[in-house]
Structure formats: C-alpha cells, structure tokens
Structure 1
Amino acid sequence: MLKNYLVILKNVDKIKICIVFFICGITSIFSQQPPVLLSSVDTTKIKIGEQINYEIKINTDSIFNIRFEENKIFNPFELIEEFNIDTLKKEGQITLIKKFSITSFEPGVQTLRPQKILVNDILYYSDSILIDVLNVKVDTVSKKFFDIKNITELQKNNDGWWKKYLLGFFILSLIFIGYRFYKKLLISKSQNEKVPLPIEKAIIALQHLESKDLKEQLDYKEYYSKLTDIVKNYLEEDISLDALESTTDELVNKLELLKDAGKLSLNQETITNFKSVLKTADLVKFAKSNPGIEIASSDKKLLETVLLNTKDAIPKPTEEELLKNKEYLEKQNKEKRNKIIKKTLIVILSFTALILATSISIYGWKSVSDTLLGNSTKTLLNKTWVQGNYGAHPIIISTPDVLKRLKSEDINQTFEWESLTKSIYVSLKIESDNDKIEQKDVQSVIDELIIELKGRGAINILTKQQEIFIDKGSPAFKIFGSFDYSDQDGITKRHEYVNLKFQENNGKQRVLVIYERDNNFAKEIAKKIEESIIFKIE
C-alpha cells in the first residue's frame, strides 16, 4: 500500500512539471508582440519633378525575417533611389528603417500606395499617403513668342573691331596736321615773297598818319612821336643806323658822317629839312609846343621827301653784299621752318601720347603693347582657323593651322602642331583600340601621360582629372595640370596642359594641348581648341 502511494506521488510530480512547462511555453508565445509599421514622407505637397523622401519604419521587440516586395509598385510615382535597411536598437526595442526617394510628373492629388512587407512569412501593408503634386505655371500670355529663326552662318571673328577705327582716326589726324603744316609753310613762303621794302613800309605808314584830328597838345605829341619813329625805323632797317636810341643832334651827326664817308650821298638840304622836323618834334614832346595843323601836315610831307631822297642816296649793294643778304634771308627762312617743324612735332607727339594714354587706361598696357608691337600668339588666336577631320577613327577639331601627321611604325596615328619651345603645342593621337576605359583605369592613363611629359623634359608635374561627356558619346576623361619646362637657353617657365581622352568611332582619341601659363592668348587658344572638338558618331 505504501508502495502504491509513492508511485502516485511520482506521477503527480511529473504532471506538475509538465503543467509548468506548458504554462511557460504559452507565456513566451503570447509575450511576443506583433511588429508595428509606420509610413511617413518629408512633405505632402511638391511641384512636378521634385523629390520626396519616403520612409517605412518597423518597430518590434525581436528580430524577424523581413522581406520587401522585389517589384515595388509606386504608380503614379517613380522610384529615384532605394536605400538599404537601417537597424536601430534602443531599450530592448528594434527599429528597422527602409528609405526611398521618389517623384511624380503627373499633377493632382496622388495616392502613394501601400507597400507589401513579409514579416516571418506574414504579409503586412504600409499605410497609404496622399501627395499633392502641383503643376508648374507657364506664362504663355505676358511674354511675346517668336518663330524659330533660320540657321545662320557664323561671321568672322570681330574681336578688336575698334582698332581699325582708331588707326583710321590716327592717320586722318596725321594727314590733317601735315596739311596744316604744309599750308603754313606755303603762307610763310608767300609772306616772305610779298614782304614790302623798308621804304614802302615807311611811306605807307606816313600816309596812314592823319594830321587833321589834332586838337590838344597830347594829340600833337603822339603825332610827332609816330612821325619821327617811322623815319628812324626806316634808317635802322635800310641803312643799319642806330636811330631810335639817338638824340636829334646825334642822329644828324651820324648822317653827316655817312655823307662824308661816301656811304650816303645826301645833299645838305635834305639833312637840314630832316633836322628841322626833328627839332619841331622835340619842342612838341618836351616843351609842350603846339605848332598847328598846317605845320604838322607840312612836316609830314617834308619827311616823306627826306625818306625818298635818303633811299636814292643809298649806294647800290655790291654782289658780295647781295650774296650775304641772300644767305641771311635763307637763314631766316630756315629758322622759321625749323620753328614750324618743331611745333608740329610737339603737336603730333602730344596727340600720340594722349591717344596712347587713353588706350592704356581703357584696354590696359598689355593689350595696347600687343596691338602696337604685335603678338604672335594673339595673331594665331584672331586668324581664321582650320577645321580638320583627322584619323581612321575620325575626330573633328579646329586649330590655328593644319596638324601635321608624324611617321609611325604601328597602326596608331599621331598629328602635331608647333613644339614645346613655342607658346602653345597641340598633339593628337588616334589609337585603333576598342577596349573601353573605365573610371578605375584612369590612373593608368595619368601615369602614361606623366611618363610622356617627363620624356619631353617636364618637371614638377601636377595633375587633376575629371570625367566629361559629349552628346551621344561615351564618357571621356579630362586630365589637366601644370609643370615646369626649361628651354634651350636654360630659361624655366611654368606650362599648363589639358589632356582629353575620348573613346569614339571604334577607337580612342587623345588630344593634348600645352601652353605657357603667363600667356593669356595661348590659354584662350587652348580653350577654343577644346570647345571645337566634334565627333560624328558612327
């Protein structure tokens, strides 16, 4: 009986243990909470084509097997980019975040559809969201529209159009100054030819001297002063007699001395009459005498007779005197011409300096000096360029002159223009290689270029690179930078280079342009060459 009781107790313990395990299992099963799905966007109102950041969060207390639908449907929205799932753990909670970038090109209120998500093979749906897609307003009323214009040919390069007008203005100014100079010489020559004789000037001056308006003593004083000055000026000019600074007696004595020396054949009556008029003039000027109109008029006629008699009394000049007089006149004319030439040169130089200063202030010294003195690189930039189609895998490129083809032992083709010793150098290489260059292979292209530049004498080489694109073509690679190069004279200059690597028309094309850094015109040429490259994609 005791034995049976023990067996019963053992069975009861087993039952209790099973009940405990069952209860724990049920508790653990029901303690797992279902996942919570949250959907959100950064904005519910966009313009057509704007980006929306769409986010789905799954909150849970344990890690589940989560799978998003492979072919996600966002219609009418379009998927721009999908990001990997991010996992965040905080205080026993796990948050799984899935992000998308979407957009829409259909205006109106659109519904962002729920996304299917499998959690432990159980299907869940995210919330749907309404998005207002606004249309872009296009103004078709306030602005005037025009028909599409026909294709027109490009005109010739008109840079520096002002130069020809400036040159024309400068030439016309020189012609005008030259004409005025020539005209002034003619006038001076004609004036020399028409210069009246001293006796003629004296007689004319006497005739213009009026005696009828003499009233007061001051009038007589002024009249006799002019009367005697006319005669004295004549004596100084025609006889070379110091008359203006001489008194009456001194002047009469000088005339008598000339008469006695046989240099002036004056009669005594003429000398006496002249002395009489001079005495009257002294009385008027110093004693305030008032001789009257009749005597004043008579003295003028008397002096006119003295002048004529004096002219007749002058001996005719010898051939030697005539020669000296001629030389003197020529010397006088030469001095006048020199003065005119000097003034003209000053005007021309001042005008030139003014134009030069104005041009420098507007265009700068470098541009003006290149225009006046000439710049070979600037000439290359402004000349009509040559557009050529080069190579078996053709590339169209424009350069100042035709690229010359170099001899090659392989199937590759090389074209060049100028050399590194010049301000700019252009090299074109065509390779018959259809293997595409990827971004990861660019470093090998850079290494090859550095080796080539070093082989040409370049040192201190710096490189940069970027990927470029051409219309309807494959990606191309641009490698650019600078280096130092020493010429044959040992002069080191900094050069810049642009290396363009294309892969078009079943081949590869390499364009290398090297130019002096300090030469702005060479830099413009390099840029113009780069912009001229065209491919006719086969």
Structure 2
Amino acid sequence: MVALNYKSVLKAVCLSIVLGTSFGLSADNVVVKARMDSTAIWMGEQTVIHLEMVQDKGQTVMLPVIGDTLVSGVEVLKISKPDTTDLKNNRFQINNDVLVTSFDSGFYYIPPFKYILGKDTFKTNELSLKVVPVEVDTTAAEMDIKGVDSPEFVLWDFIPEWIWYVLVILILIAAGVFGYIYWKKHKIAPEAIDEKNLLPPHERALSALSALKESKLWQSGQEKEYYTKLTDILREYIDERFHVNAMEMTSSQIIDTLRRNDETKAVNQQLKEILEMADFVKFAKMRPLPDDNEMAMRRAVNFVDETKPEEPVISEIENKETAESKDSDGVSQVK
C-alpha cells in the first residue's frame, strides 16, 4: 500500500512537471510586436499602428482591449478586424490595424499593448508619436458695423448694359497687346537657357546631392538646413520622375503613394527612414549622430540610382550594322 502511494505521488509530480513545461513552452512561443507608419505627423493628420501576434495553433490568446483613446491626446478612429495568416509549422499570425490621430501638438508616449494567455501577459514594444502644430494666422480683421442707410444716387445704374460688354472687350484686347509686347521684350534667348534644366531628373538630383555633400552643412552644426535641402532634392526628383506632387505631400503620403509603385518598392523603406529622420530633426529639434547624417546621404543617392530610368541597350547586331553602313558610305565617297 505504501509503494502504491509512492508511485502515485511520483506520477503526479512528473505529470505536473511535464504539463508546466509544456505550458511554459507554449507561452514562450507567443511573439507580439507593434509598429507605426509614421512617428511624426501634423496636428489633425492620421497614422496607422500595426499590431502583430504569432502563436501556436490551439492556443486562445486575448487580444488587447483598445478604447476611444490610447493616451490623453491620441484618439482612436478605427480598429480593423483581426486578420489571420497561416505560417505553417503549426503556427499562425494575427494582425490588427489601429487608425489614430491627434489634435493637440506634443510628444506622446504610447504604452505597450497587452496580450493575455492564461495567467501570462505579453506586451508589445512601446511607441512614441510626435504631433507637430500647424501654423494658423490668428489676425482678425476689425469689422465696422453700421446701420442701414438709404441708397444714394449712382450714375452707373443708368448706363446701358451693352456698354459694359464693350468695355470688357476693350480691356481684354489691351491686356493681350500688353502681354505680347512684354513677351517680345523679355523673351529668353536660346543661349540663356540653363543647361542643367535639360538634364534628366536623376542626373540633376545626383548633382544636387553631390553639391549638398560638399557644402558640409551638418559638419558645421546646420543639421536642420542639411535635412531640409536633402528632402527637397528628393521631393523634386520624385515629382519629376514619377509625376507625383511630392512638394505638397506629407512624408507618410509620399511613402503610401510610392509603396504602390513597382519601381520604388525595393527602396521605399530607405526613403521612409530618410523622411522620418528629417521630420525629427526639423520639427522635434533632434541632433542626429554623424553616422546617421552620412547614412541619410547614402540612402538618398541609392534611392535615385535604384529608381532612375533604365538606359536603352544597343545590341551587337545594331552596332555591327551601323559600322557597316559607315564603311559603305566611306567607300562610295572614295569612288
């Protein structure tokens, strides 16, 4: 009877150890993380937080409970339905997107999102969001409110309507004559055209980046001017190369637009890191390290090189035919 009790106790202890170890491994196999499309936005602009969780099949993990606000000042506009992807090997991934915005400028700390499996809690990485204020002209014009006066005699009310049409036509003719004279006087001669404007967009962009590198702005403490000129060069290149109005778009809008372009998918992440670093320097007054400044320049040059149009390749047959035609022309002339 004592031996039976000893064996029962031993089996119970072994079973509890196995079950505890199994649950610990399952818990350790849960991986969660969070990332944000843009960490710096204008006041009133929107950005998306992507939540990802990878777990074993058969586990029941409680997703984070998200209210109307993440923190005071950061509002939740929309939460997408969970999207499940089968990763094979008895594991799958659940994705959630959270659309947020803020109407108060400042720097916000977003705490980790919590996933619960049994008694274990898994936290994502923490996030931060910089909201930049939009400058508004608050100058209000003074209004002088007076009482209603009786209408005065106005001569224009007694002029026939057709006279106004004649005056409009005469003004248009005079404007046309003046414009033609001005154009003739200030017409730009062909030799006055800047040859740089005749270069392809990628050559002008690479030339401007080289000049910016030689100016050594960030080496003299002018990081804000350096990143302003760097992003302006890239925005002008994107505008001319892909016909995207990048000069009037925010950083996140440019990234979202180019993400759908097959020619920019491979280097879109590099452009995103350049624009995010530039936003932090220009709006959050961050002082990047020298390695970050040099990396931004290398990424800009690589972005232009990787997205420039491919040059037409002349086949060997075409080269041979061209050479033969030149030789035949030379023989005929000698004869």
Shorter chain as denominator, the TM-score bin is: 0.3 to 0.5
Structure ID, larger Rg: 1
TM-score (norm: length of structure 2): 0.36
Q: Kindly indicate which of the two structures has a greater share of residues assigned to strand.
A: 1
Higher relative contact order (CA 8 A, sep 6+): 2
TM-score (norm: length of structure 1): 0.24
